[in-house]
Structure formats: structure tokens, C-alpha cells
């Protein structure tokens, strides 16, 4: 298996898009996108725009696609424990980009909360910010694939397998 990784900001460059199209022209490969959603709420829409732009690349349309990482957002209120309620607008924006891009959450086993702010007492927050999502082609190709949330191991984020 080959793994192509680069800073996604490079997708604003036409040469980077051309090179990506060339690399994925071989239909035996499928793209994996490591994703980091902008932690600044006012900038998060740029993260969703990037996902839509990636999904819109013609050469990716008929390929299995897997995306994993820290989306810095939850889909449902049940994916958060502690603190104030999450804005329905924020969760809806995330849900909309998932639907627009034909992406499905792979779910998980283990503790569902992948992030903790590590504060004490009433200030402690937990949320499921890290996840793997895929398109239907990827799910059909790998129907038994699963995601397991491990431990925090010194980080605010759990390791995800």
C-alpha cells in the first residue's frame, strides 16, 4: 500500500491538484485523507469547504475514500459530556458536509469519547472529536472494517485504531 500525505493547504495550488489527479488515476488505489478540522469555530466552515472540494475532484468520484482524524466537531449532542450544550448550528454544518460528500461514520468500539480537556471536577469535558468516515464504495469494499478507541496515553486525544 502507498500512502500520500501532505499539507491540505496545498490543494489551493493547481499543480498540487494536477499531481493528485495523476497519482489517483490508477483505479487499484484508493485515497485516505488525514483530516484536521479547524479548532477555531469561525474558521471551521473552511474545513467543511475543503472536504467538499476534495469530494468534488472528478477522479475521486468513483473511488473508495477513507477519511480519519480530528474533526473538532460532534455530530450529536450525545457525543459530548460536560460543559455547555453544543450549538445545533455547528452539529448541523458537520452533518451537512457528511451528507453532501456521501460520507458515513464508521462508528467505534471502546469509550466513545476521544478527547478530554483534562480539567478537574465540573470543568472536565469529553467529546468524540476523532473519527473515521468513508464513502459507500469504501464501505462496500471493506464491510468488516472497524474502529477501536484506545487510551489517552498522555494526550488529550485517545489513540484510534
Whether 37 maps to a domain, the answer reads yes
Whether 156 maps to a domain, the answer reads no
Q: Quick one: CA torsion of 32, 76, 156, 130, rounded to 10 degrees?
A: -10
CATH number for the domain that contains residue 112: 3.60.10.10
Looking at the predicted structure, is the pLDDT value of residue 69 above 50?
Answer: yes
Beta-carbon neighbour count of residue 19 at 10 Å?
14
User: CA-CA distance, 149 to 159, in Å (whole number)?
Assistant: 6
Cβ(133)–Cβ(48) under 8 Å? no
Cell numbers for 85: 450544550
Whether 161 maps to a domain, the answer reads no
Residue 120 lies in domain:
8-141
- pLDDT, tens digit, for every residue of 79-115? 999 999 999 999 999 999 999 999 999 999 999 999 9
- pLDDT, tens digit, for every residue of 2-54? 444 444 455 556 766 676 666 656 556 788 888 999 999 999 999 999 999 98
The reported pTM is 0.83
Whether 118 maps to a domain, the answer reads yes
Whether 158 maps to a domain, the answer reads no
Q: Which residue has the higher pLDDT, 69 or 29?
A: 69
Whether 23 maps to a domain, the answer reads yes
Q: Total domain count for the chain?
A: 1
Whether 159 maps to a domain, the answer reads no
1-5, 62-66, 70-74, 91-95: range with lowest mean pLDDT: 1-5
Can you give the pLDDT at residue 6?
Answer: 47
Can you give the pLDDT at residue 21?
Answer: 67
Q: Which residue has the higher pLDDT, 61 or 2?
A: 61
Beta strands (DSSP E) in 39-147 are: 66-70, 80-81, 103-105, 115-116, 126-127, 130-135
Whether 93 maps to a domain, the answer reads yes
Amino acid at each position: 500500500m502507498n500512502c500520500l500525505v501532505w499539507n491540505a493547504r496545498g490543494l489551493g495550488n493547481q499543480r498540487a491538484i494536477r499531481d493528485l489527479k495523476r497519482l489517483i488515476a490508477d483505479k487499484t488505489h484508493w485515497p485516505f485523507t488525514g483530516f484536521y478540522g479547524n479548532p477555531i469555530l469561525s474558521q471551521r466552515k473552511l474545513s467543511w469547504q475543503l472536504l467538499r472540494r476534495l469530494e468534488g475532484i472528478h477522479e475521486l468520484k468513483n473511488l473508495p475514500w477513507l477519511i480519519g482524524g480530528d474533526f473538532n466537531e460532534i455530530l450529536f449532542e450525545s457525543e459530548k459530556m460536560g460543559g455547555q450544550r453544543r450549538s445545533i448550528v455547528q452539529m448541523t454544518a458537520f452533518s451537512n458536509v457528511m451528507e453532501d460528500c456521501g460520507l458515513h461514520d464508521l462508528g467505534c468500539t471502546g469509550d466513545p469519547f476521544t478527547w478530554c480537556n483534562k480539567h478537574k471536577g465540573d470543568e472536565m469535558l469529553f467529546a468524540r472529536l476523532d473519527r473515521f468516515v468513508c464513502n459507500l464504495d469504501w464501505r462496500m469494499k471493506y464491510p468488516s472494517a472497524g474502529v477501536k478507541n484506545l487510551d489517552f496515553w498522555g494526550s488529550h486525544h485517545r489513540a484510534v485504531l
